[in-house]
Amino acid sequence: MPSDLPAYAVEPVRRCLRSLVTSHELLRISMRGIGTVSNYPKMDQRIIDLTLQCGKEVTDEMKARLAESERLAAFANAELKDGFPFFHAFATVGAWGTLEVTIEDLLLGILLNEPESLGKDEILKIRLPLAKYEELDKEERMRFILSELARTGATASSQGVTALESLLRVFDLSGEVDEHVRKVLWEMNHIRNVIVHRDSIADLRLVQSCPWLNLKTGDRVLINCEKFGDYTDAISRYVDTVLDRIRKRYDVQVPSSATN
C-alpha cells in the first residue's frame, strides 16, 4: 500500500484486510479442531475397554468424560454435516462489523486531520447539544458527528453498501460500486441482522429483500465456508474500491495490486 497516502486514510484499510485474512485462518483452525472432537468418544471408550481388560474398575470420572465427549461429538458432527454454520455465522457478524468500522475510522481520520471537512453542509446542519459536546475530547466529538450523520442522514434508512455510501458521500468519497459486490453486501447485511436479532431465523424482511436465497419465513439460515468466502471477497473488493477513491482524493495514482 503506498506510503505517500496519509496513514489516517489507509490504516483502516490495512486493518480491514488483515482482519479478513485472520478470520479465514481462525476458521480453518477451528474447523480442523472440531473435526478431531468427533473422535473423542472412541478414544474415551477405548480407555474404558482397556481398563476393563486389565481387571480394573471404571471410575465415575471415566464415565463422565465419555458422556461429555459424546455430547461434544454430537455438536461437532452437526457442525461438520452442515458446513460449520455456527462458526460462519459469528464470522459473518464480525466481518460486517469490520467493514462498518473501516469506513467509520477512515472518516474519523479525515475529520481529525482535515479541519476543513467540518465545513461540509451536512455537518453544519447537525444540532449539537453544547453541554454534552463540551464534555467530549476531540476524537469523541468527531465520532459523535459521525454517529449523528448516520442517525439523521440518508444512512438511517439505508442498508448494505447504500448506508456506507451515504456516509462516504459527505466526504466526497462515494462513487460507483460493482453490482455483484453491491448485491452480495446487501445480502450479507440482511443475513447479519437475522443472525444477531433473530437467532439465524429468516424473517419477512430477509425473505423479501433477498428473494434469490429462496428462503421462507421461519427457515434457519445456514452459512457455509463458500458463502462466507463470497461475503469476505465482496468486502475486500469494496474496500479496494474505496481505496481507489482515496488515491484520487490525494492524487496518488498507483495500481490496485499495491494493496497486496
Burial of residue 199, with CB atoms counted within 10 A of its CB: 0-12 exposed, 13-18 middle, 19 or more buried? exposed
The yes-or-no verdict on residue 163 having pLDDT over 60 is: yes
Residues 106-145: tens digit of each pLDDT: 999 999 999 999 999 888 888 877 777 778 899 999 998 9
pLDDT class of 153 with cuts at 50, 70, 90 = low
What is the pLDDT averaged over residues 153-179?
84
Between 30-39, 102-111, 182-191, the lowest mean confidence (pLDDT) is in 30-39
> 130 Cβ partners below 8 Å, 6+ apart?
none
Rounded to two decimals, what is the model's pTM? 0.83
What is the pLDDT averaged over residues 143-150?
89
Residues 47-94: tens digit of each pLDDT: 999 999 998 899 999 999 999 999 999 988 888 888 888 889 999 999
The yes-or-no verdict on residue 100 having pLDDT over 90 is: yes
CA distance 239 to 237: 6
What is the pLDDT averaged over residues 29-43?
88
Q: What is residue 11's predicted lDDT score, i.e. its pLDDT?
A: 94
The yes-or-no verdict on residue 238 having pLDDT over 60 is: yes
Q: What is residue 6's predicted lDDT score, i.e. its pLDDT?
A: 92
Would you give the distance in Å from CA 162 to the centre of its chain? 17
Query: What average pLDDT does the structure give for the chain?
Result: 89
Most confident of 86-90, 124-128, 166-170, 233-237: 233-237
pLDDT class of 258 with cuts at 50, 70, 90 = very low
The yes-or-no verdict on residue 257 having pLDDT over 50 is: no
pLDDT class of 259 with cuts at 50, 70, 90 = very low
Alpha helices in 40-178 (DSSP H): 40-53, 60-82, 85-113, 121-124, 130-135, 138-152, 161-170
125-155 exposure pattern, b = at least 16 Cβ within 10 A, e = fewer = eeeeeeeeeeeeeeeebbbbbbebbbeebbb
Which set of grid coordinates corresponds to residue 15? 486493518
